[in-house]
Amino acid sequence: MRGPHNIWRLIRTGATLERTGAMNVVLDAFDAPKPIRFVAKLLGKPFMWLGYKGDPTMPPATRALTALGPAYIKFGQVLSTRPDVVGDALAVQLRVLQDKLPPFGVDVAKREIEKELGQPVDTIFSAFSEPVAAASIAQVHKATLRESGEEVAVKVLRPGIEAAFRKDVDAFYFAARLVDIFAPGARRLRPIDVIEHFDGVVRGELDLRLESASASEFSANTVDDAGFRLPQIKWDYSARRVMTLGWADGVSMGDNDAIDALGVDRVELSERVLQLFLNHALRDGFFHADMHQGNLKVAANGDIIAYDFGIMGHIDEYTRRVYAEILFGFIRKDYKRVAEVHFEAGYVPADKDVDEFARALRAVGEPIFGMDATRISMARLLSYLFEVTERFGMETRTELILLQRTMVVVEGVARSLNPRMNIWEVASPIVTDYIKTSIGPRAVLGDLGKTAMVLARFGPRLPGLVEAALVRQAKDEVPPHRPFWRWIVLAGVCGMIGGGALFTLAQHL
């Protein structure tokens, strides 16, 4: 940790926050305690003249972070996915952060590509354009593959960006540790956890092989999704600092006039956007977590094209089932079942009252369902739901926060295409179908089948495992009644597994 550099960077940060008027906005959003406010003012007020002025047309927080540079911009974008940390108001403000920066020269980009791919750019590409987009971490060029004549997009990391980010992330860690040491009351903000989360996101974006892998997995999951496609990764021309993928031709999802000119039905398009996202989240557990209009295009035939896979969300199978059953319960207005699901999943402490929790959930759902159908918002419902569960002691679950944030964005995209969309009508078939396949009888049989496969794989080892357990037990001098009960438990478990396996096998005969 470089102390002098970190102290200087924090002084510059505090000065910029103070000069742009963002200091109080940030401190209030974090509900910072008095010691933190005192130190922040100490680092900002006297040195305000050292702060960057920024663009006065921007809101204070986005103005300050944009002025402070790429790492701060990216940090703000990541925090926009964590309203549980910064509050809803600041999260909304941070979502509009744009990381557009001046491009670096095309000659520099070519040198980076040659260094990464080990051959001259002119050998790989017959045409290579000036930058068509430049962000904080990388920029994109349009090119033509010499071998096939295919048009591609080539993403290249900024030279030295890893070292620049490392310096600023180092300062972020330094600040988080100061907060942790000198302001114990602020530990509930989990400052080090927040920086570690940011560090993980950035490390992923600074290795384009990981983004390529995400794009490849996403493509494999969605290959059969009608009306949806992704640019294909060109692995032969991709590396840690370079990613090459097919060129996406189409109009911006945010340009309704251009979409109308294509003759595409915007009502159907809006429904498809929402249903695709829900399918990816529930069916696959792997979804595009930055699915705003800037990352979506509409092809001439009406297909939705998604790109930029730097931020992806992952939800395990069990969490997907819980999430789907919660949504399904709200759709049916079965608040008692929604409450029970929270308790069964361990989201809410067992010492809380399930009936009281169900009444709190009703207070969330009924006002929303009482709205005009076109004003019903699943994103708003999830936001209110997290507020209630927090009051009942539910710990923050980062994957659900990211899902909720992406739901807000996707819902906004859908409503921009069709302001009169009924969110529940569109979502209900996807959620209901998932419930049938993942929670109903078929799901039970599937789980039993998986159990049978595990038993078949480890069955030959069971005698040895039991014998080893008995030897350890004898060495530990366990009282004689315990082996008897252990045998009973083992026999019961084996009986259930064997019975399930036979039942599953019978279904397939």
Q: Is residue 68 a contact partner of residue 78, using CB atoms and an 8 Å limit? A: no
What DSSP assignment string belongs to 195-228? HHHHHHHHHHHT-HHHHHHHHHHHHHHTTT-TTE
Q: Name the burial class of residue 193, with classes exposed (0-12), middle (13-18) and buried (19+) by CB atoms within 10 angstroms of its CB.
A: middle
CA dihedral 10, 13, 19, 23 (to 10 degrees): -90
d(CA 135, CA 477): 66
Main-chain phi, psi angles of 157, to 5 degrees = -70, 150
Q: What is the pLDDT of residue 484?
A: 46
| Local confidence pLDDT in tens for the 509 residues of the chain | 456 677 788 788 888 888 888 888 877 776 677 777 777 777 667 777 778 888 888 888 888 888 888 888 888 877 776 665 676 677 777 766 666 678 899 999 999 999 999 999 999 999 999 999 888 889 999 999 999 999 999 999 999 888 888 888 888 888 888 777 766 655 555 677 778 877 887 887 889 999 999 999 999 999 999 999 999 999 999 999 999 999 988 999 989 999 999 999 999 999 999 999 999 998 999 999 888 888 899 999 999 999 888 888 888 888 888 888 887 888 788 899 988 988 888 888 888 899 998 998 888 778 776 666 666 676 667 667 777 777 787 766 666 777 877 887 888 889 889 988 888 788 888 888 887 777 656 665 665 666 666 666 666 766 776 777 777 766 665 455 445 444 444 545 455 445 544 444 444 44
Q: What is the four-CA torsion angle of 312, 198, 78, 403, rounded to 10 degrees?
A: 40
Report the alpha-carbon distance of residue 362 to residue 79 in Å, rounded. Answer: 30
Round to whole Å and give the CA distance between 228 and 211. Answer: 19
Q: CB neighbours of 2 closer than 8 A, spacing ≥ 6?
A: 167, 170
Q: Which of 256, 284, 265, 283 is nearest to 227 (CA)?
A: 265
For residue 251, the one-letter residue type is V
Report pTM.
0.72
pLDDT of the residue at 501: 44
Q: Which residues are catalytic?
A: 290
Residue 330: other Cβ atoms inside 10 A: 23
Residues 6+ apart with CB under 8 A from 17: 23, 26, 40, 44, 51, 64
pLDDT at res. 503: 44
Element (H, E) at 129: strand 125-134
Specify whether the backbone of 342 is left (phi greater than 0), alpha (psi in -120 to 50) or beta: alpha
Instruction: Say how far apart CA 100 and CA 135 lie, in whole Å.
Output: 4
Q: How many helices (H) and strands (E) does the chain have?
A: 23, 10
- pLDDT given at position 211: 92
Q: Which residues of 221-249 are buried (b: 16+ CB within 10 A; e: fewer)?
A: bbeebebbbbbebbeebbbebbbbbbebe
* 251 touches 401 (CB < 8 A): no
Q: Give the CATH number of domain 105-158+207-247.
A: 3.30.200.20
Report phi then psi at 140, rounded to 5: -120, 140
Alpha carbons 494 and 506: distance in angstroms, whole number: 18
> Quick one: pLDDT at residue 323?
80
- pLDDT for res 35: 73
